Structures are given as C-alpha cells and as structure tokens.
Amino acid sequence: ARQHAWEAGGSWVGRGFLEWVAGDTPEAAALRASTEIFFIPIMDVDNVALGAGGKEAVPRDHNRDWDTRPVYPEVAAAQQRVEALIQVGRLRCYFDLHNPGSGDKQPFFFGPMDYEQMTGPRRASYDRFLSLCVQHMREPLPILPRYRFATYVKTQEERDRMSGNWVRDRTPARAVAMTLETAWNTPHSTQDGYLHVGQGLAKAMAAWLRE
C-alpha cells in the first residue's frame, strides 16, 4: 500500500485483508497453513512522513519506478523480494492498494493492459479471480464487475514500470497481479468500509487459491 503516499485508504484495506487472514474462520486457518503473505503497509515512507501527496512525484512516481534502476530504495527492496518469490514459483497473487480519483464511487481493479488480447490459462486466471472478487467484495463497497485499464499512463515505457505490470510480465499464467483502487469519496469510504473491502479481497484470494 501507499505507493501514493496520500492514499491512506489503501493501508486500511490492507489491514482488513490481514485481519481476515489472522481470524478464526476455517478458510483463514487453511489459507495460513498453505500460504505465506507479505504486506507492505507504507511504500513511500518519506512522503507519508512529510504529509506529501506522492502521486506524480519528482523525480518519479513511486508506482512508476519499477524498472532495472529504481530511484527509491523501497522499490528496489520490494522488487528483490518479489523476484525471489517468482524465481522459486511461489508468487500467486500480487495486489497494489490505492485510492482513485474523486469521481470514482465504487472500488475497481486496474487489470492487465493486454486483457482483451489474452487467451488460454492466463485469461482464465484473470476472469476467475474477478468473478470471485465480485462474489466476496460486496457490502458496503461492491467491486466493479469488470476490469478498468490505466490508459492515463500514455507510453509503453512508462506502463512497463508500473508495479502491477512489472510483476505480471514476470509471472506465469497461474498468477494474478492487480491494482485495487478503493473509492474514497463515498459515504462508505470510512475505516470500517475499507476494512470490509480488504476482508472481501482476502476471502476471494483464499477461494481462488483453494481451486
């Protein structure tokens, strides 16, 4: 969470995710027995400490720093850990937690840019994962039942260094990498609302990993 420092809702979504994972349900216990989960509550530590926004930051937006020579040490550290998990075939899910623009009234995923051209097992993974999210991410902030795409990032070079795309380019068809944008400008965009979004995401992930 918090590749964009001011998107505090992302941290709360992450907390809701972890609280469900740490909870007493048999589904959570089964998930813990079979899965290792890494959570970074705040990526852009400096801008959070300063109270700055972070989006489109100079010299780079944190979430567009994912290339071979990242500017930010946090990105380099996250890349190393993620890459190590990918190398040994242990990365199944990657989620980057954000809050979107003020006009967005429902949580949604930015999916793979090449989703329309995807076929076979990779497309099946993204379709199935989304349908489980629709099933589990309901009240009070239901997930949009289709992917959106971060087309506001204009060049391919810049798209390639967004974290979700960076991870997706390195993982096999049985993995998903997504950006969750949780609406912040609604009456339900409270700590409690965010916790429920995170809880729903965790339930969907657990269901997907069981299949």
Cα 95 to the center of its chain, rounded Å: 2
For residue 159, give Cα distances in angstroms to 2, 62, 188. 18, 13, 31
Binding window for Zn ion (CB under 5 A); candidates: 5-13, 115-123, 145-153, 170-178: 5-13
Minimum distance of Zn ion from residue 121's CB (angstroms): 29
For residue 42, give Cα distances in angstroms to 3, 19, 62, 113, 114. 7, 17, 11, 25, 29
Count residues near Zn ion (CB under 5 A).
Answer: 3
CB-nearer residue toward Zn ion: 7 or 44: 7
The interface with Zn ion within residues 61-120 (CB under 5 A) comprises 98
Assess 161 for contact with Zn ion (CB under 5 A): no
The 8-class DSSP code of residue 15 comes to H
Binding window for Zn ion (CB under 5 A); candidates: 6-14, 45-53, 101-109, 120-128: 6-14
CB-nearer residue toward Zn ion: 98 or 203: 98
Binding window for Zn ion (CB under 5 A); candidates: 3-11, 140-148, 149-157, 191-199: 3-11
Assess 122 for contact with Zn ion (CB under 5 A): no
Phi-psi region of 72 (alpha: psi -120 to 50; beta: other; left: phi over 0): beta
Q: Which residue has the tokens 């990526």?
A: 43
CB-nearer residue toward Zn ion: 4 or 136: 4
Assess 4 for contact with Zn ion (CB under 5 A): yes
Assess 2 for contact with Zn ion (CB under 5 A): no
Phi-psi region of 2 (alpha: psi -120 to 50; beta: other; left: phi over 0): left
Interaction site with Zn ion (CB under 5 A)? 4, 7, 98
